[in-house]
Every structure is written in structure tokens, then in C-alpha cells.
Structure 1
Amino acid sequence: MEALQEALGLVLDWQVLAVIVGASMFGLFIGAIPGLTATMATALLVPVTFFMDPLPAIGAIVSATAMAIVAGDIPGALLRIPGTPASAAYTDEAYLMGRQGRIGQALGVNLACSVIGGVIGVAILAFFAPLVAEFAIQFTSDEYFWLALLGLSCAVLVSGSDPLKGAISMLLGLLVSMVGMSSVSGQMRFIFGIPELLSGISILPVLIGLFAVAELLRRMPEIGRISLPTPPPVKKPFEGVGGMLWKYKGGMARSGILGTLIGALPGAGADIASWISYALARRLSRTPEKFGTGHPEGLVSASSANNAALSGAYIPALVFGIPGDTITAIIIGVLMMKGVTPGPDVFTTDAALVNAIFIVFLLANLLLLPLGLVAVRGARHILSVPSGVLYPLILLFCIVGAYAANNSMLDIWLMLGLGLLAYVMAENDFPIGPMILAVILGPIVEGNFLRSMIKANGDLLMLFERPIAATLGSLALLVWVAIIVSTLWSMRRASRKATPSQSG
């Protein structure tokens, strides 16, 4: 109770509240512009959080992310252009509802379900995270090695239709994480005679480059060429929403829980939770034939799941330091810059901070309703910002942010180089998620593996000696078997398709 009161005192500080509101408005603006994702909003905030204490820094990212996901629904419903990938699953339903004269109702359902799904996710996070942390105190380097490897493996498995490309992306991230001096052996690696690389590549230019700069490069052809159509006015955004939520309350609760669980899987995230919840709602619906025609049932389920997934992703992030998605990977990087190492010990050493994070989550989700309504009302103005003005300003902000971390020009060049690499990867259908997760998890995998090998005198079988380690290790190996089988199967299927055309 004393820790909760202390946490409330931390959150109710006017500076923390001002940061939360400001970051929320920023997230709404970025999310409402088609193509600028919630992850990009988070990456752009990282340079600002560099100058903040841990709690307002986390509050800024949590608030901006939640708002950006909701704001991504606005251009989807108005223009049939999803603002963020998490909004893509139900864009057609919302847009077709608008064509039927129910645009206000569609956006009202999005807002209300996002709030309810987010609150469900926060409740599960606050209840289960401390329990999991108590269990995780028993972990040694063996368990942490397998857990981090399992996180990387799952990220590769769910990264797309081609696990091989996901594995290559992961290996590139591991390569970046190995630059500098080894934390265990002190060996210098891949520094190429550059003294600034002795301490490794800073996480800040990596995050900004992989997400913000790469996205700007993808959007560059649009500058000054594409103008969005004027969206229709939004009237009566909450008319009939209450009755609709009551009608589909079971699907909404199911999707909130499912979204939280999917969010907790490393590499999954809100967009996968949204698609799975939409597909499940269609499978279990009494009227599946109405899906795709402007039917609100799929809208209720998918928009409940994506915000719940944001909270779920913080369970492995806070308890184990294993990112649930790219956004929590950024959060872990920010916490480490602040001298706070996520893990089970943080629940005892920084209990007030953890409770304050839970309160910030709840506050950010409750703010979705009033601030989301403001965004819906002002959508016409947000969508009219010329890309030729917006994108250069974002690039300037990226350069200043990368330089501010270490006052180093090298970080700017690293940011631009990694941004170009991420752009080339995305253009060739290589997922970026496994790469950033590998940058975060690489040191955890390497450090814990080397410590375990030192204790076991190099005996690999000792990694399976403890029951929990053996279970996690078996799961990790099963995932890699699934990755290999899936890759071989897709290659065999591709060769079968190519054979008839060659013979003809």
C-alpha cells in the first residue's frame, strides 16, 4: 500500500502529467498521418526522453504509442488508408460503415473499444507481472540464455511468410550488438580502429535509423506528389455505440484477453493481435457473411485487441528484460540509458517505479477517450499537413536526436547507414522487427551463455541440467525446428511452382 501511494505521488507530479498529455497529442498527430506508424512516433520521442527521468520518459512513450494506435483508425475510416499497421485489419469495415453514413459510429466504436481493451490489458499486466517476477527470481544465467534465445526464435517465427528472411534480419541485429568490447571477456570486436566504437553502437541512432529514417526513405517519392482527398466531416461519434458494445461484449472481452496474451509473445505485437482477433471473431460469429461489408462486430474485436496487446508486451519486458515487440524494445533501451535494468529484481528494488508505470498505463488509456475525440474532430486539419513540410522536419529532428546522445557525428552516420539498410531490407521483404530485437537481446544471449559455459567448463549439456532451463531450451529448439521445416516447405513449394513454367 505504501509503494502504491508513493507511485501515485510520482505520477501526479505536474511535470509527469504535462509530459503524458504532450506525448499523447504528439502520438495522435503522428498516428493520424497515413504511413507514420506508432513505432516511428516512439522512435522520434527517444531523443526527447534522453533528458527526462525514467518515469516521465516511459510515460511519454506509453502515451504516444496508445494514442498513435487509436489515431491510426482515423484515416482508415475516412480515407481507407490505415494510419498504422495495427489498424489495417479493420480498415475496410470502418470505411464501409462510413460509406453507409455511420462514420461517426465507426470512429466512436474504435475509441471506446481501444479504451476498454487497453484497460483489460493493464489489469492483466498489473496482476500477472509481479507473480511472474516472483517466479523469475529463481532464474540463473542458464534460464536467461534460453529465454532470450526463445524470444529471438519466436520473433523470427512470427516475422512473416519467410522465416529465412527473419533469421537473416536477426543475424544482422546480432552483428550490430557485438560491436565493441565484450562484457565478459573484454575482447574488442568490429571496431575498425574507431575509438568511439569501443563501448558499442549506441541504441539511440539504431532505433531512429531502423524506424524513422527508413520510413522517411520509403515515403520520399510521395513528397509534393500525393495529396490526400478531403475527408468527410465526422458527426455524432458516439451515437449508438453503447448498445453496440453491449451486443458484442463477449467478443470484446475475449479480444482484450487474447490481445494481451499475443502481445506478451516476443515479436508478435498489436498488428498480429488485431488480425488474429478479427479472424477469430469472423470464425465464431453467427453472421460471418456480413464481415467485409461494414459490419461492426469485427471492428469491436480487432480494435479491442490491438491496444490490449500494447500492455501485454510489457509483461516479458519488465519481468525478464525480453521485448514483446519493437516498441518495448525501445522502452528497454530507454530504461537502460536511465540506469534501470528490467528484470525480476526491479519489482523489489524499484517497486514504486513499476507501480507508477502501471498507473501511467491506466491513465494513458483513459485519456484516449477525450483526446481521441479531439483528434476525430480535428482529423480534417491533421490530414491536410503537406508531406513536403512534415517529412523534412522529421528528418531534422532525427539528426538532432541522434547527435544529442553522445555529441558524436559518428552516431549520425550510423543512423543514416542503418536507415538505408532498413529501407533496402523492407523493399526486399525482410522484416525489421527481428533485427531490433536482436540488437537488444544480443548482449543478454551472449553474456549469459558465456557465464554458463564458464560455470560448466564448456559442457553444453549443463544448459539443460536445471528443470526450468531444460523446458525453455526444449521450447527454443522446437521453435528452430519449426523455422527450418517451414523454410524447407516454402522452398519446396516454390520449386514446384517454378517447374511447370520451366518445362513449358
Structure 2
Amino acid sequence: MDAVLTAFGLVFDPSVLLVILAAAVFGMFVGAMPGLTATMATALLVPVTFFMDPVPSLGAIVTATAMAIFAGDIPAAMLRMPGTPASAAYADESFLMTKKGQLDLNLGVNVVFSALGGIVGVAFLVLCAPALAELALNFSSFEYFWLACLGLTCAVFIGSGNPVKGFVSLLFGLSVGCIGIDPAAGVPRFTFGNVDLMSGVNFIAVMIGAFAVSELLRGGVELHQVGHVVVPQVGNVFRGVAGVLRRYWLNFVRGSLLGTLIGALPGAGADIAAWVSYAVSKRFSRTPEKFGTGHLEGIVEATSSNNSAVAGAWIPALVFGIPGDSITAIVIGVLYMKGMNPGPTVFTENPQFIYAVFIIFVLANVVMIPLGWAAIKSMKQVLRIPRTLLLPLILLFCVVGAFAMTNSSYGIVLMLIFGVLGWFMEENGIPVAPMILGLVLGEMLEQNFMTSMIKADGAWLAFFERPIAGSLGVMTLLVWLLMLVRGARTALRRPAAA
């Protein structure tokens, strides 16, 4: 109890609160800019933390991360340009709601459920950190292979319309993910002698191109709307959110729990949590046909999930010193720099700092609502700019984001190529989201498959020998079998109906 009281005193120091507020504004700005990720926000704060005490330095990172994950939803809803990869899973759904005139409700749901999902994640971090971290430690390459397979199965659910076209998009994303260095043999693949391609295809640059540049191309074709306001109303973003919570409370709970569990798995993070939760929401929805038309149900579950995953990723980082995602990998470095060696002993040697982190997490998610409201109101004014000025400005931000990912013109070239490709795909009814999912999970799938095959000396049954791996494997195969059976039934019914 003494440690908790000490932690409250450390957090509610005026200088610490000022640092948290500044980090929140910084995180909002970075997250709202397409291509500038939450990881980048964290990395940019590290040099500043050199001159800070442990509590304000950790507070700055926690707050900036939470804000950036939410802020990515704002350009996704307004312009179909996800600010962070965690928002890409439901960017199409959000933008379709905007086109239906429901931008206020959409953004209100995003900010409220992001905050609530983050608080659920913190509750699990406080109560279940050791147990969840122990579960995460039991995951080997076999379990991660099946987890990646389950994640790729989401492509069937997130790709609206023709499932065959969604599958083609997924395979294309997996194929693009093979470019670079072979993880097993260490030799270049499909690089055609280009040095830049040896580092692989940066999925952030691809995401900016496929979502943002393709939308800019579409907007350029429709320049007859010059000078018109895209979304003229600036209303109450919180109106109707309480009704959404009453209607979709189960989606909120399921998304928050799933996000926390996925976040606790090393290497997973908020990006994968959002994709999986959106797909789960569609799979178990009573109205799956509404998904892909501007429907709130999937957005509620996914936005709750990616914010709860932020706290979940701290579980293995604090308890065992294993990063849950790229952000907590940076956090571990900061902890060592401040003399706080992450691991079980940190709870006994520096308990006041750990409790301070918990308090800051709660505080960041509470502050997210008023700051998120202010960010939404500010960003809405952007849409009042004439399209002849708005489109070039957005393209400029996209170029900056793509360049920042690779520190070279290579990222810009990737962005432009996949922008044209994304526009072509959507004009022909091929969804872009499965391609991005394949690119995100492709590396994880291949690396864990090759590692597992080397461990097992080529024995396929090894993928089912471990209890967790066997359960995940059977679950994945059953899902695939169920999809094949449903597909076959649908194909048989069509000739009969004709």
C-alpha cells in the first residue's frame, strides 16, 4: 500500500502531469498523420527521456503510444487513410460510415471505445500480468505458426464481396512479403539485384499507397467536386455512443479481452489484434451482410481490441523482459537505461515505479476522451479546405510518412506503385485489406514455419505434439474445413436455384 501511495505522489506531481499532457498532444499529432506510426512516436521520445526521471519518461511513452493508436482512427474515418497500421483493419468501414453522413457517431465511438478498451487492458495488466505472461512464454514457433494461419484466415471475413477475389488479394500480399532475404537460407529472393529490395517491402509504405494514394487518385478523377465541403456538419460526436454501448457491449468485451490476450503474445501487438477482432466480429455477427457497408459492429470490436493490446503488450515486457511489440522493445531499453531491469524482480525492487505505470495508463485513457474530442474538432476543419488544395497537402504528408519509413526515396516509390495498384484493384472489385494482412503476417508465418521444420527435422506431426500448438492447429483446420463445406454448399445451391 505504501508503494501505491508513493506512486500516486510521483504521478500527480505537476511537472509529471505537464510531461504527460505534452506527450498526449504529440502522440495525437503523430498518430493522425498517415504513415507516422505509434512506434515512431515512441522512438522519437527516447532521446528526450535521457534527461528525465523514470516516472515522467515512462509516462511520456505510455501516453504518446495510447494517443497515437487512437488518433490513427481519425484520418481513417475522414479520408480513408489510416494514421497507424492498427487502424487499417477497419479503415474502409469507417470511411463508408462517413460517406453515409455518420462521421460524428463513428469518431465518437472510436474515442470512447478506444479509452474503454485501454482501461480493460490496464485492468488485465494489473490483475493478470504474471499469469498471462506465463502463457505467452509457452508459445514457441509451432504456436506462432498456427496463430499466423488463424490470422490469415481473417482475410476471408474482412474481404467483402467475392471471397475468391479476397483470396487472390491475400495470396498477392503473401507473395510480395517473400521479397527480400530468405529467413532460412539467408539469400536474396526476387530482388532482381536491387539493394533496396533486399530489406523487403515495407508494409507501412505499402499501406499508405494502397489506402491513401489510391483514394487520392480516386479524388483526382472526381475533381468536379472542387470547392465542395466533404463533410459539412460539425456536430456532437458523443451523441448516440451510449446506445451503441448498450447494443454492442458484447463486442466491446470480446474485443477488449481478445486484444489483451493477443497483445500479451510477443511479436503480435495492436495491428494483429485489430485484424483478428474485426474478423471475429464479422464471423459471429447476426448481420454479417452489413459489414463492408459502413457498419459500427466491427469498428466497436476492433477499436476496443487494438487499444487494449497496447496495455497487454506490457505484460511480458514487465514480467519477463520480453517485448510484446516493437513499442515495448523500446520501453525495455528505457527501463534498463533508468536502472529498472525488467523481470519478476522489478515488482519487488521498484514497485512504486510499476504502480506509477499502471496509474499513468489509466490516466492516459481517461484524458484520451477530452483530448480526442479536441483533435476530432481540429481535424474536421481540414475537410473544409477545397479539394484542389487538400489533395496535394495529403499527398505531401503521405510522401513524408513513406520516406520516414525507409529514409530513402525507395519508400516513396513503393507508395506510388501500390497506390496505383490499390486503385486498380478496387476499381475491379478486389479488396485491398487482405493484401495488407498477407504482407503483415507473411513474415511471421514463414519464419515460424521454417524454424519449426528445422526443429522437427521435417516431421509434420510436430506441429500437433505440443498441447497449445495442437489445440490451435486443430482449431485452424476445423475453421478451414467449415469454410470449404459452406463454400461447397453454396456452390451446389446455385444450380438448384437456377
Q: TM-score, normalised by structure 2?
A: 0.67
CA spacing shift, 1:359–1:198, aligned 2, 3 Å: farther
After TM superposition, list the pairs within 5 Å mapping 1:312-391 onto structure 2: 312-314=308-310, 362-374=362-374, 381-391=381-391
Q: Does 1:21 align with 2:25?
A: yes
The alpha-carbon distance between structure 1 residues 204 and 350, as it changes in their structure 2 partners (threshold 3 A), is farther
Q: Which amino acid is the alignment partner of residue 391 of structure 2?
A: Y
Identity %: 31
Shift of 1:192: 0.9
Amino acid at match of 2:44: M
Q: What is the letter of the counterpart of residue 147 of structure 1?
A: L
- What is the alpha-carbon distance in structure 2 between the residues aligned to residue 144 and residue 119 of structure 1? 25
Amino acid paired to 1:198? M
Aligned position for 2:275: 267
Partner of 1:43: 35
Aligned CA distance change for structure 1 residues 168 and 94 (closer, same or farther; 3 Å): closer
Map of 1:29-108 to 2, 5 A cutoff?
A: 41=33, 43-45=35-37, 49=41, 52-53=44-45, 60=64, 62-67=66-71, 69=73, 85-86=93-94
Distance in 1 (alpha carbons) for counterparts of 2:354 and 2:407 = 31
Mapped partners of 1:153, 1:271: distance in 2:
9
Describe the shift of the 1:187–1:377 C-alpha distance in structure 2 as closer, same or farther (beyond 3 A).
closer
Whichever residue aligns with residue 228 of structure 1, its letter is V
The alignment partner of 1:147 has SS state of helix
* Counterpart Cα distance in 2 of 1:347 and 1:168: 44
User: Cα distance 1:458–1:320, how it changes in 2: closer, same or farther (>3 A)?
Assistant: farther
Q: Give, in whole Å, the separation in 2 of the partners of 1:166 and 1:196.
A: 29
Deviation at 1:472, TM superposition (A): 0.9
How many equivalent pairs are there? 436
For residues 291-311 of structure 1, what are the alpha-carbon distances to aligned partners after superposition, in whole Å with 9 as ceiling and x for unaligned?
A: xxxxxxx99x99865642332
Q: Structure 1 CA distance, aligned partners of 2:166 and 2:299?
A: 27
Deviations along 1:446-484, one digit per CA (max 9) or x if unpaired, are 122112212222121221111211111111112222333
Aligned residue type for 1:310: N
- Residue 305 to residue 380, structure 1, CA distance change in 2 (3 Å): same
Name the stretch that deviates more: 463-472 or 216-225: 216-225
Partner of 1:479: 479
CA displacement 1:347-390 (0-9 Å, x = unmatched):
77999999998767644432343234446766874442222212
Q: In structure 2, the residue corresponding to 1:473 is in which secondary structure?
A: helix
Aligned to 2:253: 257
Distance 2:346 2:375 in 1: 35
Tell me by how many angstroms 1:50 deviates.
8.7
How far did residue 494 of structure 1 move? 5.5
Question: What SS class does the counterpart of residue 22 from structure 2 fall into?
Answer: helix
1:172 aligns with 2:172: yes
**Structure 2 gap segments, 5+ residues each:** 47-57, 80-89, 263-272, 289-294, 318-323, 334-340
Indicate how the Cα distance of structure 1 residues 320 and 482 shifts in structure 2: closer, same or farther if over 3 A, else same. farther
The answer as to whether partners of 1:403 and 1:412 remain within 8 angstroms in 2 is yes
In the alignment, the residues of structure 2 paired with residue 358 and residue 93 of structure 1 have an alpha-carbon distance, to the nearest angstrom, of 38
User: What does residue 447 of structure 1 align with?
Assistant: 447
Q: Aligned with 2:44: secondary structure?
A: coil
Q: Conserved in 2, the CA contact under 8 Å of 1:259 and 1:309?
A: yes
Equivalent in the alignment of 1:159 = 159
> What is the letter of the counterpart of residue 398 of structure 2?
C
1:324-351 deviation line (CA, Å, top 9, x unaligned): xxxxxxx9577789998xxxx9977999
Offset at residue 156 of structure 1 (A): 3.1
Q: Closer, same or farther in 2 for the Cα pair 1:206/1:135, shift >3 Å?
A: same
The CA distance in 2 between the partners of 1:220 and 1:320, in whole Å, is 46
- Closer, same or farther in 2 for the Cα pair 1:130/1:487, shift >3 Å? farther
Change in 2 beyond 3 A, CA 1:366/1:426: farther
The answer for the alignment partner of 1:117 in structure 2 is 116
Where 1:392 maps in the other structure, the secondary structure is helix
Helix, strand or coil: the match of 2:252?
helix
Following TM superposition, by how much is the alpha carbon of 1:395 offset from its aligned partner in structure 2, in angstroms? Answer: 1.1
Q: Deviations over 1:74-117 (max 9, x none)?
A: 99xxxxxx99734867998979xxxxxxx9xx799858954763
Contact 2:39/2:327 (CA < 8 Å) preserved in 1? Answer: no
Which letter maps to 1:469? A
Question: Which residue in 2 is equivalent to 1:398?
Answer: 398
Corresponding residue SS for 1:52: helix
Distance in 1 of aligned mates of 2:174 and 2:30: 32
CA contact (8 A) 2:143 2:472 kept: yes
Query: What SS does the aligned partner of 1:430 have?
Result: coil
Matches of 1:142 and 1:107, distance apart in 2 = 39
Superposition deviation, residue 419 in structure 1:
1.9
Superposed CA deviations along residues 238-285 of structure 1, whole A, max 9, x for unmatched, are 89x9xx95x9986575453134246566624569859988969xxxxx
Contact conserved, 2:76 with 2:91, CA < 8 A, in 1? yes
Show the counterpart of 2:132: 132
- Give the counterpart letter for 1:122 in structure 2: G
In structure 2, what residue type is equivalent to 1:466? R
Q: What is the distance in 2 between the residues matched to 1:48 and 1:148?
A: 25
Counterpart of 1:311 (choices 289, 307, 314) is 307
* Structure 2 residue 434 is the aligned partner of structure 1 residue 434: yes
| Partner Cα distance (2:161, 2:345) in 1 | 42
Structure 1 distance, partners of 2:188, 2:108, is: 55
SS in 1 for 2:275: coil
